Amino acid sequence: MIEALPALVLGISNSNGNRAKAGFVFPDEGAAVKKIGIIFGMETTFPPALVEKINSMGEAGVQAELATVGEVRMAEPSPYHVIVDRISHDIPFYRSYLKNAALSGAIVINNPFWWSADDKFFNFALGHKLGVAIPETVLLPHKQHPPGTTDRSMRNLQYPMPWDSIFSYVGFPAFLKPFDGGGWKDVYKVNSPEELYHAYDQSRDLCMTLQRGVKFKEYFRCYVVGQEKVHIMHYDPSAPFHERYVKDPPPVDPKLLERVERDSLTLCRALGYDLNTVEFACENGIPYAIDFMNPAPDADVNSVGQENFDWIVNAVAELAVRKAKQHSGLMPEYRWSAFLSGYYDEAAKAKETAPKKVPSRKAASRAAKG
């Protein structure tokens, strides 16, 4: 097991020669070592393997470790130049820590501002607008009132719901699932209105979606890393959890795989995720994207298998190192739109493409005479 190094260092000076406040290291452009930190939860195989891979790459001035988070002061930088986030969707403390780190120039994989704003129903609508095949989907209100609300809080909502219209649009079988969830939690397959009502009654105060069930022949789960690399995995959602990644899949039409790869990149580039999985259920040769908000995807060797595990470890390691080397120390424009769009990458690109200053005629003349 790789042990985390201390994350807090006292009395470090920044590039301007000013003493950093006790307890914090400023991740400056001129830092001798660009540090990559991984924050994670219960998973045990991917984080240490990622650290080991990065540190074995021999990239001068780049070091990875399992992150340590202690005192978090407002507007104070994190000691990490790049942070790989595997847990903030479950721990709000980490999500706020990452936003604070990004405010001072840390690069976070994935963007914590967009991740906080995103939801799966929006993703379905966006995918449809982008020309990706999406099964017919509707948004359903909470079956039970959210905490602190009553029926008076829902007075804009049509009642009863136009169920006949919804059933006509979506059809059966269908899947009832949270508009913002994961891990197959609270997902119900329903074959009739009666089954839908029964499942809906169990959804508590969750906001749900109802989506047409795809009668698939092929099913793929795709790793997408850096909005550039796609690794297509054959997947069987009906199998036991540890057998869902198919080891010896049957041959597939290359054109179908080409479209799956293209649609995966289209979705992740539009959403801005640098690490994601996209799931496709294929019916009559059409790949329907049914889930593509997985910014901390399953990467446990015991479930994905050794070959897929090696691919994702290597791809994320290369991405994190590239981000660390690109880290410029540029501070963001303090506007919400900048944070949502991934201001850091834009700032780095702006620096790379900025035109060089042309010396004045007088300066050029003096240089020539000298």
Q: Do 152 and 59 belong to one domain?
A: no
| Phi-psi label, residue 153: left if phi above 0, alpha if psi -120 to 50, beta otherwise | alpha
pLDDT-derived band at 16, boundaries 50, 70, 90: very low
51 or 3: which leads in pLDDT: 51
Query: Do the Cβ atoms of 15 and 270 come closer than 8 Å?
Result: no
The answer to the question of residue 170 being in a domain is yes
Query: Do the Cβ atoms of 136 and 212 come closer than 8 Å?
Result: yes
Q: What is the pTM of this model?
A: 0.85
| 307 membership: H or E segment, kind and range | helix 306-326
Q: Do 169 and 252 belong to one domain?
A: no
Q: Do 171 and 268 belong to one domain?
A: no
Q: Do 5 and 107 belong to one domain?
A: yes
Query: Using CA atoms, how far apart are residues 205 and 129, in angstroms rounded to an integer?
Result: 29
Query: Using CA atoms, how far apart are residues 55 and 57, in angstroms rounded to an integer?
Result: 6
Q: Do 152 and 201 belong to one domain?
A: yes
Q: Do 171 and 85 belong to one domain?
A: no
Indicate if the pLDDT at residue 361 is higher than 50.
Answer: no
- Looking at residue 24, its pLDDT comes to 37
- Looking at residue 138, its pLDDT comes to 98
Cα 203 to chain center, whole Å? 25
The answer to the question of residue 129 being in a domain is no
- Looking at residue 30, its pLDDT comes to 55
Name the domain count of the chain: 3
Q: How many CB atoms lie within 10 A of CB 244?
A: 19
Question: In the predicted model, what is the mean pLDDT of residues 257-283?
Answer: 97
Query: Do the Cβ atoms of 321 and 59 come closer than 8 Å?
Result: yes
Strand order in the sheet with 229-234: 229-234, 218-225, 275-283, 286-291
Please tell me the least confidently modeled range out of 145-154, 176-185, 195-204, 342-351: 342-351
Q: What is the pLDDT of residues 124-140, one digit of tens each?
A: 999 999 999 999 999 99
Residue 233: which CATH number? 3.30.470.20
Residue 99: which CATH number? 3.40.50.20
Residue 159: which CATH number? 3.30.1490.20
Indicate if the pLDDT at residue 228 is higher than 70.
Answer: yes
